[in-house]
C-alpha cells in the first residue's frame, strides 16, 4: 500500500512538473515583447567605462573611451537605440593619438542609422583647441558629420563665433553656418586683384 501511494505521488509530481515546463516555454522574442509593452529597456548598465581599441599588427591602439553613469539598451525595439540619460564623457583619439573630448548631459544613439543625438550643455573640444558649445547637436557616425539647427558658439583661437544652424565635418575644416555673428579676424595682407 505504501509503495502504491509513493508511485501515485511520483506520477502526480511528474505531471505537475511537465505541465509547468511546457507552460513556461516562452521564446526570446516573446520575452523581449514584454519589455516593449512596458516601455522598458532590455538591458541596463551603470558606471560605464568602455574602451574601444583597434588591433594593429603587434599591438592595440585605443580609439575611444566612453564614460557614463548609466546606459539603457533598447535593442529590443523595431527602431533600436541606446540611451545615456545621465550624459556622456567621450574621449576620441585620432591616428596620431590626439585627444578630442565630447561631453553632454544626455545622449541617444540610434543603432540603425548610426546617428547620435547629444543634448544639454554639449561641448566638443578638439586637440587643436577649438571648442564648440551647443544645447543640442547631432553626429552622423557614417559620414563623420555634425549638425544642429539650434544656437551654438564656436571658439577657435582668439575668434568667437555665435550662430544658429551648423553643418560641419568632424574636424571643423569644412563647415556651413546658417546665421552667424561674432568677432572674426581676417588676413588683409593679400593683395586685391587690380581692375
User: DSSP string of 121-150?
Assistant: EEEEE-TTS-EEEEEEEEEETTTTEEEEEE
Is the pLDDT assigned to residue 182 strictly greater than 90? no
pLDDT of residue 62: 86
Residue 194 lies in a domain: no
Mean pLDDT (whole number) for 113-133: 92
Q: Residue 193: inside a domain, yes or no?
A: no
pLDDT beyond 60 at 13: no
- Grid coordinates representing 190 are 593679400
Q: Are residues 93 and 165 in the same domain?
A: yes
How much is the pTM?
0.72
Nearest CA to 122 out of 97, 147, 142 is that of: 147
How sure is the predictor about 128, in pLDDT bands with cuts at 50, 70 and 90? confident
Judge whether residue 194 has pLDDT over 60: no
- Residues 80, 107, single domain; the answer is yes
Going by C-alpha positions, the residue among 119, 48, 108 that lies closest to residue 77 is 108
Q: How many domains does the chain have?
A: 2
Domain match, 30 and 55 both = no
57 lies in some domain: yes
Average pLDDT of the chain to the nearest whole number: 81
Alpha helices in the chain, H assignment, sequence order: 2-23, 28-37
Output the nine-digit C-alpha cell for 122: 554639449
- Please give the share of the chain, as a percent, with pLDDT higher than 90: 37
**In the prediction, which pLDDT does 156 show?**
84
Same domain, 24 and 106: no
Q: Residue 6 belongs to what domain range?
A: 1-40
Place of cell 505531471: 15
Residues 6+ apart with CB under 8 A from 55: none
**Could you give the percent of the chain with pLDDT greater than 70?**
73
**Does residue 106 share a domain with residue 35?**
no
Q: At a CB cut-off of 8 Å and minimum separation 6, what does 93 contact?
A: 61, 62, 63, 64, 99, 100
Q: Do the domain assignments include residue 188?
A: no
Q: Is it the case that residue 57 has pLDDT exceeding 90?
A: no
| pLDDT surpassing 90 at residue 174 | no
In this prediction, residue 9 carries a pLDDT of: 52
Q: For position 24, what pLDDT does the model report?
A: 52
Phi, psi of 72, rounded to the nearest 5 degrees: -115, 130
Residue 189 domain flag: no
Mean predicted confidence (pLDDT) in 165-186: 79
Amino acid at each position: 500500500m505504501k509503495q502504491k501511494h509513493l508511485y501515485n505521488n511520483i506520477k502526480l509530481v511528474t505531471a505537475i512538473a511537465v505541465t509547468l515546463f511546457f507552460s513556461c516555454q516562452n521564446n526570446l522574442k516573446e520575452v523581449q515583447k514584454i519589455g516593449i509593452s512596458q516601455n522598458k529597456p532590455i538591458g541596463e548598465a551603470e558606471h560605464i567605462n568602455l574602451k574601444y581599441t583597434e588591433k594593429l599588427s603587434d599591438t592595440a591602439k585605443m580609439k575611444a573611451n566612453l564614460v557614463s553613469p548609466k546606459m539603457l539598451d533598447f535593442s529590443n525595439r523595431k527602431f533600436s537605440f541606446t540611451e545615456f540619460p545621465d550624459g556622456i564623457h567621450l574621449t576620441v583619439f585620432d591616428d596620431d593619438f590626439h585627444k578630442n573630448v565630447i561631453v553632454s548631459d544626455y545622449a541617444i544613439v540610434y543603432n540603425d542609422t548610426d546617428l547620435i543625438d547629444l543634448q544639454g550643455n554639449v561641448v566638443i573640444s578638439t586637440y587643436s583647441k577649438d571648442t564648440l558649445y551647443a544645447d543640442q547637436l547631432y553626429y552622423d557616425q557614417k559620414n563623420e558629420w555634425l549638425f544642429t539647427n539650434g544656437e551654438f558658439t564656436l571658439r577657435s583661437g582668439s575668434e568667437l563665433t555665435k550662430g544658429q544652424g551648423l553643418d560641419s565635418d568632424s574636424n571643423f575644416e569644412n563647415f556651413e553656418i546658417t546665421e552667424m555673428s561674432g568677432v572674426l579676424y581676417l588676413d588683409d595682407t593679400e593683395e586685391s586683384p587690380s581692375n
